[in-house]
Structure 1
Amino acid sequence: MGGSVGGALGGSLGGSVGGSVGRSVGGAVGRSSGGAAGRAMGAALGLAVGDATGWPAARHRSHLHAPWSRRLHRELDTFAEEHGVTSLPVPFALNQPTEPLALGPSDDAEWLAWTILTIDQPRAEAFRGLIGAPIRARISVTTALGNLARGLEPPASGHDNPHFFDDAAAVRAVAFGIAGRAPRPGTAHTAYDDRGTPRGTPRGTGRGVTRDPVRDAGRDAEVTNAGDGVLAARAMAGAVAAVVETGRIADALDAALAELPDDTAIGHNARQALAIAAKAGDPFAAVPALDAALLDHVYSYGVAAALTVPVALALASAGPLERAVPAAACLASLADSAPALTGALTGAVAGYHAIPEGWARAARTLTGCCLPDLAGRDLMELVEGIA
């Protein structure tokens, strides 16, 4: 990283990348309106908008339909495979209500909402409340719930986990960034080394404690993740908290990079992605180079935090929500979460009132496709409680 990428970044965003970022985003959207509260709501709504744009959203929302409808979808997929048919099936509502397949948010927005609702609980306790519940979640979360049920505590519940590296905690971290409060003196937190590994210091109870977004996101992440999965959560929380405070994407990028060591996969990828976006000068223009540089298209799941978070940071650095989120959705293998993470950052820059009204209407109401108890809840009302 001491070569071209390191030179482009100059060790921080005060160099060439920072200059281009400040000019690109500042020229496009300037400072966000509505103050910190408007930016906090913009982060949440931006995440929900991004969640809705990715093709997986309809797949998630289709789980509100009877199982036989998804079985028919699989049979049509098999038919296309066996007969050389290029007409590919999409989620459909045969003899069922069509509302679940309307444009709207899915898993990422619901897990953000759950984190907001449980933000004052000790994190392992909050997750224990989900054991046995009829929920849908990432592999890291379902494995962690099994670990907790067997008596395994954090950080082992996140470390002894086949998907310790995924971005589930990075999505939840947006809630801690929105809350964005400094810790009280004497508050106990889990301490981390520069690779995101807990040092084993005592954890506070979490009840009524004024929060440090980065540390609290790390404490949440250690329940389900380790390594890059924890670093990603800390980076997203720091980035969102910074942009909610100042309205400047350059501050968000500085905060994120401070949590991503150069010699980690996520740190390397973040700096490479930012250099690519700075050279491209536009989110859409950056997509082919990001695809070529970061995505090997080998693994069967596109939720690695070392990929989705760097892409989100890079696209958010290159332009506003209306250009960055659709660009993230173009990276099909990362479309389950990269658009949502990109939307959280760019939505905070723009502020709630700058997000198009049609998108705001479509994205704010949750369906309960992953967390049934959240069906019908208004995400914006939940955010008002902590912003």
Structure 2
Amino acid sequence: MKFESAIRGLVMGDSLSTQNATHRLALLSERRVRRFNILQAFATENKHTTVPEPYVHGFSPKYLYPRPSDDVEWFIWSRDVALSKSEFSEKWQEMATLRGTLRIRVSVASALQNISKGMRAPSCGHDNPHYFDNSAMFRALGIFSAMPRDINRLKELIKEDATHTNSEDGVWCAVAIGVLAASIDAGTPTSEAIDIAIDELPQDSWSRREVLRALALSKSESMLKERVMLLEEKFVDRIYPYPYAAPETLGLLISHLQHKEDPYLMFTSSFLHRRNTDSIPGLIGYFLGLQHGDSWMPQTFRTEKVFLDGVSIPDLKGRSIFSE
């Protein structure tokens, strides 16, 4: 039951993220997407502070209802691969042949391009300018949900998958978040589980430095609202254009998990990390579901049968998130 709660927490965070509607806009016609982009450019060119939000105009509003998007779909994809005992190398080769139909993170796009050229892991993940992004972290949790008890095999599979799209920090953080989930699931106190996860980050690595810096900044700040602002001002990166760096993502996640909070309050406060809302609410939702079940979630997300819409992986359209 707690695994279903964890997945529902991920679904809730992914569905309510700021970027969700933008991702889901791709389900409409290309003409509608172009029109939205034109309105965005119009606002920029004319120095307007009135900027458009994703809209349907002629399509059903249901297209933009809060429903799962790319992160949940890749979670399900990796869980399926692990459950089927397939080789990740074979599945990534298949995904490379489907590149024209996929809507994906830039790191995954670069990796698939490398695979199409004949490169294999770990080279296809290493020769990638976005090797350090957090895309493999969501897939790591999918792998964990498929095989939570065998920690050594879990780490092997996470590395096998992650090295196709990432390298170094992107891989290390994926392994760390998988180990964090496995430790918490096994009943390890959260503080100890965090230490175990950090041990997966090599000494002197960017990942370890960032996570330890985030923990040091936030450890003594027990008030959630103050902790969020502290991390926003002194930790969150605003130099890199894409807010998906794995070390930053893991640092923010662990900084909040180290404190005991009302789960719904912690979940809703994660949206105050506005630059990171495409990732943090979903990850925090997953771990809060793993720790606390689903009693803190709104009824819609506790009971609704959730089906995927193929936002990122069209072949998953219509798939129930709880079917195996």
Give the TM-score normalised by the residue count of structure 2. Answer: 0.91
Query: Is 1:368 aligned to 2:313, yes or no?
Result: no
Aligned counterparts of 1:256 and 1:301: Cα–Cα separation in 2: 25
Equivalent position to 1:108, from 59, 71, 75: 71
Cα deviations across residues 204-232 of structure 1 (Å, max 9, x unaligned)? xxxxxxx7222221221111100110011
Partner AA of 2:171 in structure 1: V
Q: Does the 8 Å CA contact 1:277/1:283 hold for their aligned counterparts?
A: no
Q: Does the 8 Å CA contact 2:144/2:178 hold for their aligned counterparts?
A: yes
Structure 1: runs of 5 or more not aligned: 1-37, 184-210
Q: 1:75 deviation in Å?
A: 1.7
Q: Does the 8 Å CA contact 1:53/1:326 hold for their aligned counterparts?
A: no
Matching of residues 318-333 of structure 1 within 5 Å: 318=259, 319-333=261-275
Equivalent position to 1:212, from 147, 153, 166: 153
Structure 1 residue aligned with 2:243: 302
Structure 2: runs of 5 or more not aligned: none
Q: CA RMSD in A?
A: 2.0
Structure 2 residue aligned with 1:28: none
CA 1:362 to 1:139, structure 2 compared with 1: closer, same or farther past 3 Å? farther
Partner AA of 2:153 in structure 1: D
Aligned counterparts of 1:304 and 1:166: Cα–Cα separation in 2: 4
Query: Is 1:73 aligned to 2:40, yes or no?
Result: no
Equivalent position to 1:293, from 220, 225, 234: 234
Cα deviations across residues 358-382 of structure 1 (Å, max 9, x unaligned)? 2235683321111112122221x23
Structure 2 residue aligned with 1:186: none
Percentage of pairs with the same residue: 28
Q: Does the 8 Å CA contact 1:229/1:305 hold for their aligned counterparts?
A: yes
Structure 2 residue aligned with 1:170: 137
Structure 2 residue aligned with 1:61: 24
Query: Is 1:90 aligned to 2:53, yes or no?
Result: yes
Matching of residues 247-326 of structure 1 within 5 Å: 248-318=189-259, 319-326=261-268
CA 1:56 to 1:363, structure 2 compared with 1: closer, same or farther past 3 Å? farther
Q: 1:77 deviation in Å?
A: 1.6
User: How many residues of Structure 1 are paired with residues of Structure 2 in the alignment?
Assistant: 318
Query: Is 1:149 aligned to 2:116, yes or no?
Result: yes
Q: Does the 8 Å CA contact 1:320/1:350 hold for their aligned counterparts?
A: no
Cα deviations across residues 190-249 of structure 1 (Å, max 9, x unaligned)? xxxxxxxxxxxxxxxxxxxxx722222122111110011001100111011112221743
- Give the number of the structure with larger relative contact order, counting CA–CA contacts within 8 Å between residues 6 or more apart: 1
Query: Is 1:132 aligned to 2:74, yes or no?
Result: no
Equivalent position to 1:340, from 276, 282, 300: 282
Structure 2 residue aligned with 1:27: none
Partner AA of 2:4 in structure 1: M
Aligned counterparts of 1:115 and 1:353: Cα–Cα separation in 2: 27
Aligned counterparts of 1:298 and 1:55: Cα–Cα separation in 2: 20
Equivalent position to 2:162, from 221, 231, 234: 221
Partner AA of 2:123 in structure 1: A
Q: Which moved more, 1:59-68 or 1:333-342?
A: 333-342
Q: 1:292 deviation in Å?
A: 1.9
Q: What SS is found at the alignment partner of 2:59?
A: coil
CA 1:363 to 1:286, structure 2 compared with 1: closer, same or farther past 3 Å? farther
Q: 1:295 deviation in Å?
A: 2.3
Q: Does the 8 Å CA contact 2:237/2:248 hold for their aligned counterparts?
A: no
Q: 1:258 deviation in Å?
A: 1.6
Aligned counterparts of 1:252 and 1:320: Cα–Cα separation in 2: 19
Give the TM-score normalised by the residue count of structure 1. Answer: 0.77
